[in-house]
Structure 1
Amino acid sequence: MKIVIDDKIPFIRGAFEPFAGVVYAPGRSIDARMIADADALIVRTRTKCNRSLLEGSRVKIVASATIGFDHIDTYWLNENGIRWANAPGCNSDSVMQYVTSLLFFLAEKHSLDLPSLTLGIAGVGNVGTKVERAARALGMRVLLNDPPRQRREEGTDLHTDTGRGGSQFHSLRKLLTESDILTLHVPLTREGRDKTYHLLGLHNLSEMKKDALLINTSRGEVVDNIALRESLEKGLLRGASLDVWEGEPGADPLLVELADIATPHIAGYSVDGKANASISSVRVVAETLGLPLEHWTPAELPAPEAPVIDLSGLHDSSLDLVARAVRHTYPIAGDDTLFRNGREKFEYLRDNYRIRREFGSYSVRTDDSRAAQIMENLGFKIIK
């Protein structure tokens, strides 16, 4: 039995060695020759899993240690009896942490009062739902857009406002015209009624309010980067913060300069999120190949440097106390600086990303009951 694994997937070494021959290789180096006699393949987004890679191989399962799966030709795999799996929701708390830290950064930079703002969320799956929870905890008004989910749950078409009352979802146009901040959490879909390729571009960026801000942590191709750059250059949009880019592992240098925050696709790169992805991949491969790893978990995760946040005795506002705690766990400006100083090291920055733990790994002490409630809703542990 042979298993080929992307060598940058963390915590996974040693899991399969008692049962199979294991080959670790850079994701971009995994080719048809390497996997011809493999039974399983565990990858990230950098490995394109399609006919040219898999035809003629004996691969039974392709597992991706990622939320997204646009790098997998799911139609071809299904047609050829090859099982595939992604890791939905594995890093949703990590992306929520990123967006929450970003919201506080933007509030400080642009002198914004978050509770008075409207946040539009396009894509309300695992990640979008966590972001919604965080935004509501911060007191923001929230508008949701998710056509597939509305059809499933309400039986109505969301691409246009139907005028029906009671729906929790709204058209994309309503989000564009009413949101002070619009954040994208959609999968990349290149065709069909729910196509998200260039979901935002020349055809609709102009509908956003001129003082609005855009956040994209989904996929770079969801936004036409050239159109976005032109909108920012012409002052048609107040700002944009981007973790994903068209043409990765590259990024438009002019767009990087214009962005409020620019990072190299690391929003979901918390230690916790990576561990969850590895757990998901190991277990689905084990199930497919009949290996006794259905309860596998990695060794203990590295602890945060300062897991206790003491805010007692401070006289800041409740929201400022929350901001202190959030920045303690993840000061987003640091990742922005690293990327601006080394854009050409996109993959290096991803592959050598620092240890970042999520909110749930931290305990907070505070005298402010309102701040404590907000932080608890975000996932922090509160010391009573």
Structure 2
Amino acid sequence: MSSLRILADENIPALEACFGGSGEVRTLPGRSIRKADLLDVDVLLVRSVTRVDADLLAGTPVRWVGTATIGTDHLDTHFLEQHGIAWASAPGCNAEAVADYVLAVMALAAIERGQALTDGSVGIVGFGNVGSRVHRRLQALGIETHVTDPPLAEQGVSGLTGLDEVLACDRIALHAPLIRDGRWPTEHLLDAVRVQALRPDQVLISAGRGAVVDNAALRERLEAGGPWTALDVWEGEPLVDPQLARNVRVATPHIAGYSVEGKLRGTVMLAQALNRWQGVDSHPALEALVPGPAKLEALPATLEEALLAAYDPRRDSRQLRETVAGSRAERASAFDRLRKEYPVRREFGFHRLQGSGDPVVNRQLEAAGFTLVY
């Protein structure tokens, strides 16, 4: 096996542990990677902030591209395949972390509204790796759910419904990929008309791709009084609409999937894919990289308190809002810095909670994704 020249986004963890055996690994900030950086590179490893297309790769020796993300809309896969450049993504790598984020945000909305997480219905847009996990947990909690995913419905997946029914639910979670053309485009799926129709008593959570919602229309709706809204993704990232960020209840810098485990899982999946491409029978294991289990100091009395004890989105929201008064350059830089310097966050499944004396609470905690010990 020849040694590969590897360039990677500096925010991808465990690079040396997972790729050091394949060759020399260099790193750069993902947004600053340019063609000039790739003139002596065989393998490019990116995240969603790097657009990989002809402008970046034409005339370079890059033979393999990996993105440590679920989504691939930042990759021109047609160009890659037309030019014999192998590529891989990490589908599902951070899906559990995004599901954690959604449940924590729903818990916060419930507390602020004097409700329980299990009250009311939830509509889910997108039934892929994330949407299906959110659905599974909500179903386990006994929450009424409605899901729409036209491409999957066309393939015969049962139990799905239409967008209008989903948008009528008490809470709406958006997990559709960004698709700009074809039969089922999702760009501005929630356009001005649909955004205007959202009710003040609803909850809207967007943790998929920013452009699925018309951000300008949402800003106008919220200024007039709209749904309780949490946005983790934004049109025009790394620039965030300052007024929109002030008007939503939760504003976070595209970190819903930023768990320790999710990031490491993405790196491991790419390393495994690269090894298969090379014909190498070696598979780095996630278990060897993940820290020991996390523990909550005390078991909260309710499901909502437990979710927010494991992850409270208000901290991330405060930090992002502190950045929106600067210049465009300052705001963009701050958005990326918050992501780069994001603190350790563990997935619910890697928390070990002592079971309580209340079997109902225990069942709820396990349904929400926690691991209980007795």
Please say whether Structure 1 and Structure 2 have the same fold, judged by a TM-score greater than 0.5: yes
Q: Residue in 2 aligned with 1:293? A: 282
Give the alignment partner of residue 322 of structure 1, picking from 283, 303, 308.
Answer: 303
Structure 1 Cα separation of the partners of residues 84 and 184 of structure 2 = 26
Matched, 1:383 2:360: no
For 2:309 and 2:202, the matched residues in 1 are separated by 27
1:136 deviation in Å? 2.3
Is 1:226 the equivalent of 2:216?
yes
Q: Equivalents in 1 of 2:351, 2:228: separation in Å?
A: 31
TM-score norm. by structure 2 comes to 0.92
Contact 2:109 / 2:228 at 8 angstroms: preserved in 1?
no
- Give the drift of 1:225: 0.3
Partner of 1:159: none
Q: Could you give the per-residue CA deviations for residues 59-89 of structure 1, whole angstroms, max 9, x where no partner exists?
A: 2211000111111001111111111111110
- Counterparts of 1:88-237 in structure 2, within 5 Å, are 88-154=91-157, 167-176=158-167, 178-235=168-225, 237=226
1:338 corresponding residue in structure 2: 319
- CA distance change for structure 1 residues 309 and 153 in 2, over 3 Å: closer, same or farther? farther
Secondary structure in structure 1 of the residue aligned to 2:193: coil
Letter in 2 for 1:169: L
Which residue identity lines up with residue 216 of structure 1 in the other structure? S
| Distance across 2 between alignment mates of 1:136 and 1:298 | 28
Alpha-carbon distance change, 249 to 298 in structure 1, aligned in 2, over 3 angstroms: farther
1:374 pairs with 2:355: no
Task: Report the counterpart of residue 5 of structure 1 in structure 2.
Answer: 8
The one-letter code sitting in structure 1 at the alignment partner of 2:371 is K
1:112 to partner: Cα distance? 2.8
Tell whether the 8 Å contact from 1:282 to 1:296 is kept in structure 2 after alignment: no
Q: SS at the partner of 2:18? A: coil
Percent of aligned pairs sharing the same letter:
38
Paired residues of 1:283 and 1:296 also in contact (CA < 8 A): no
Instruction: Summarize deviations over 1:102-129 as a string: whole Å, max 9, x none.
Output: 0110011122343331110000111001
Please state how far the C-alpha of 1:298 moved relative to its aligned partner: 7.4
Structure 2 unpaired stretches of 5+: 325-330
Q: Distance in 1 between matches of 2:159 and 2:70?
A: 24
TM-score by length of 1: 0.89
Measured after TM superposition, the shift of residue 263 of structure 1 is 0.4
Deviation sequence 1:277-329 (CA, Å, 0-9, x none): 0101111122223445334547533346x515543xx8x5xxxx222221221
Give SS of 2:145's match: strand
How far is the alpha carbon of 1:93 from its aligned partner? 0.7
Conserved? CA contact 2:107–2:116, under 8 Å = no
- CA, structure 1 residues 18+136, in 2 after alignment: closer, same or farther (shift >3 Å)? closer
The residue number in structure 2 matching 1:157 is none
The CA deviation string for residues 89-108 of structure 1, in whole angstroms up to 9 with x for no partner, is 00011001111110110011
8 Å CA contact 2:141, 2:368 repeated in 1: no
Report how many aligned residue pairs link the two structures. Answer: 362
1:277 to 266, 280, 288: 266
Distance in 1 between the 2:98 and 2:120 partners?
Answer: 20
1:163 corresponding residue in structure 2: none
SS class of match (1:13): helix
Are 1:264 and 2:245 matched, yes or no? no
CA contact (8 A) 2:271 2:284 kept: no
SS at match of 1:191: coil
Pairwise CA distance, 1:220:
0.8
Secondary structure of the equivalent of 1:182?
A: strand
Equivalent-residue separation in structure 1 for 2:130 and 2:244 (angstroms)? 25
Asked whether 1:44 is paired with 2:47, we answer: yes
* Superposition deviation, residue 210 in structure 1: 3.7
Identify the residue that residue 161 of structure 1 maps to in structure 2.
none
| Structure 1 portions without partners, runs of 5+ | 155-166
Would you say 1:67 and 2:70 are equivalent positions?
yes
1:363 to 1:22, Cα distance in 2 relative to 1, 3 A? closer
CA RMSD of aligned residues (A): 1.8
Contact 1:309 1:363 in 2 (8 A): no
Contact preservation (8 Å) 1:36, 1:54: no
C-alpha distance in 1 between matches for 2:287 and 2:360: 36
SS in structure 2 of the partner of residue 245 of structure 1: coil
